[in-house]
Structure 1
Amino acid sequence: MYRIVIPSRYASTRLPGKPLIPLAGKPMLAWVYERALSCAAHEVIIATDDERIRVVAQAFGAAVEMTSAEHTSGTDRIAEVAARRGWGDHDVVVNLQGDEPSMPAELIEQVAMLLIDHSGADMATLATPIQHRDDYFDQNAVKVVTDLQGRALYFSRAPIPWFRDQVGPDDLDLLPTVARRHLGIYAYRVSALRRLAALAPTPLEQVEKLEQLRALAHGLCIQVGEATCRPGPDVNTLDDLARAATALERSAGTR
């Protein structure tokens, strides 16, 4: 059994009001919520500190938890929800980002079951092989390297692992064998959520702007699985918005 929490904030630097932006006829957040409902989760909750988001979310039937406006991350927001609702330390919670309207239900289920099946892990997440050189060098494409058991060693915006010999046009077949792009979906045990929320940001986290590095710096185990299908586009820019709308319209047209 697991739960899904969708942390949602109105103030986005690049796309203000992003959760409520119309996308193929619905607010973006409604698409994310519907994806969550299609899974086998015991409960789906939208966590926000904004009254505008609460009103819209409740209008399309979502359960909403109002949280503190002081949170700096979705993890902190989810930890507050878990504490308020009295969830147990071993309960599993999926953090589904509110800007991923095309996230396949298959991957939401996969990340939850990955953590449930690995009792020694505190968190779980997913990755996919990098196929293109541009993605390898793109700082917005977060890379992850793991040990032989699939436990995360490091996440970075830099191209890791680094090929000592330059990756040229003739070496592209090497990329997917070792280079993997991290997908921004997580499952947590509630005990890990509570611990993370109580910890201060770490230097590596602040340099890379990657919150998951706080977990690694403090010795938490993050199990990484290879995504069983392709994720849809997340939305950070107007160009992303157009791509996401096209993907959703295409998906709706095939049903």
Structure 2
Amino acid sequence: MTSALVVIPARLAATRLPNKPLADICGKPMIVRVLEQARNADIGPVIVACDHESIAEAVRDHGGEAIMTRVDHESGSDRIHEAACSVDPDGKHDVVLNLQGDVPLIAPEAIRAAFTPLSDPAVDIGTIMTEIRAEKFRNDPSFVKAVVTPIGSSVFRALYFTRATAPSGDGPLYQHIGVYAYRRTAMERFVTLAPSPLEIREKLEQLRALENGMRIDVSLIDTAPMDVNTPEDLERARAALEAQ
């Protein structure tokens, strides 16, 4: 396996937090904070795939690489695919890692954990999850559950993803975290597939891969990275960074 190409998709439009990628977090735009954590993961070059020149300028002002993508993509996967084909048309990197642009405090080891499952050539996509420890989140549909079976000490094979509380019975529940390491061939196939029935029903794009027979393995990490979607989230992120 060669190194991964890490792509961070960033859209300027956000209903709950306007201009979210440019939100200041202790002197730097949020997208730059994510870029720095991706670099610290040290699994390959990092680019930001954006839909507005202001995001590109912010990234370049801090020494990063940004590429403009179409504004009409229906999914983040399509934006990632366009960016990867643009910067690496020859497929030098056989893995493309999709890192969301709203996780400014994500640990580098969490990013690397999504990359780890691809050491098995049978795996198409690697991702991450963490155990849900707070009772109030077990039934929260915004906490996407990964239904998995263990194949190693901290690596699992995904059987399903759902907003429901699953599986039933005694035992842990796992929250899926949307960081994806696509084998390049898997990404090329994925973007050609039509939205699948369960994907549409659950509103979870990763189900398209499972419904089409693709294998997703999941690394278990200790804690979920804080994502920033609201002004209140932004204040928490600022306070957390200041406390470091």
Tell me if TM exceeds 0.5: yes
Q: How far 1:45 sits from its partner (Å)?
A: 0.4
Q: Give the aligned residue type for 1:106.
A: E
Q: Give the aligned residue type for 1:159.
A: T
Q: Give the aligned residue type for 1:157.
A: R
1:79-102, Cα deviation, whole Å (9 max, x unpaired): 112222225397112111100001
In 2, distance between residues paired with 1:223 and 1:178?
18
1:133 matched to which residue of 2?
Answer: 135
In 2, distance between residues paired with 1:143 and 1:7?
23
Q: Give the aligned residue type for 2:219.
A: G
Aligned length: 237
Q: How far 1:192 sits from its partner (Å)?
A: 1.1
Q: In structure 1, which of residues 202, 206, 215 is the aligned counterpart of residue 209 of structure 2?
A: 215
SS in 2 for 1:188: strand
Mapped pair 1:232 → 2:225: yes
2:116 matched to which residue of 1?
Answer: 113
1:206 matched to which residue of 2?
Answer: 200
1:179-214, Cα deviation, whole Å (9 max, x unpaired): 111112111111111111111212221222211111
- Which blocks of at least 5 consecutive residues in structure 1 are unaligned? 164-173
- Which blocks of at least 5 consecutive residues in structure 2 are unaligned? none
Q: How far 1:156 sits from its partner (Å)?
A: 1.1
Large movers: runs of 4+ above 4 Å: none
TM-score by length of 1: 0.88
1:104-151, Cα deviation, whole Å (9 max, x unpaired): 001111211222x12101001111111121111111111111134321
Q: How far 1:56 sits from its partner (Å)?
A: 1.4
Q: Give the aligned residue type for 2:164.
A: A
Give the conservation status (yes or no) of the 8 Å contact 1:90–1:191: no
Give the conservation status (yes or no) of the 8 Å contact 1:4–1:96: yes
Give the conservation status (yes or no) of the 8 Å contact 1:93–1:112: no
Alpha carbons of structure 1 residues 191 and 86: separation in structure 2 relative to 1, 3 Å: same
SS in 2 for 1:5: strand
Mapped pair 1:88 → 2:81: no
1:101 matched to which residue of 2?
Answer: 104
Identity %: 43
1:156 matched to which residue of 2?
Answer: 162
Greater share of helix: 1
TM-score by length of 2: 0.91
